[in-house]
Structure 1
């Protein structure tokens, strides 16, 4: 048990590991946000296209 506690409290190591994990989390968050809003944006774009096509010039 002491080994695991010492392992979790140890702050020695490569910063690149933390950077890779942080970068992966940010990319995942961006993907989730884009996928959540893409459907609504597509619907809105289709409505705008329909409205503009109905306008007589």
Structure 2
């Protein structure tokens, strides 16, 4: 199970990396007045989901 969890975490990190690259590309190419900022700290999201469960 430990290996499975490590693999799943690695997949999530890969998704976050791709999201960051997408946001960076958008900001670099579109030059919005307010660039999109992504926060990759999911602590509050996880706490909120735990409370809703």
Q: Give the structure-1-normalised TM-score.
A: 0.48
Match of 1:21 in 2: 7
Q: CA RMSD in A?
A: 1.7
Deviations 1:1-52 (A, max 9, x none): xxxxxxxxxxxxxx100000000000000000110111223411xxx28xxx
For structure 1, the 5+ residue unaligned runs are 1-14, 50-57
The structure whose residues are more often helix, as a share, is 1
Structure with max Cα Rg: 1
Question: Which consecutive aligned stretches of 4+ in structure 1 deviate over 4 angstroms post-superposition?
Answer: none
Report the count of equivalent residues. 32
Q: What is the TM-score normalised by the length of structure 2?
A: 0.51
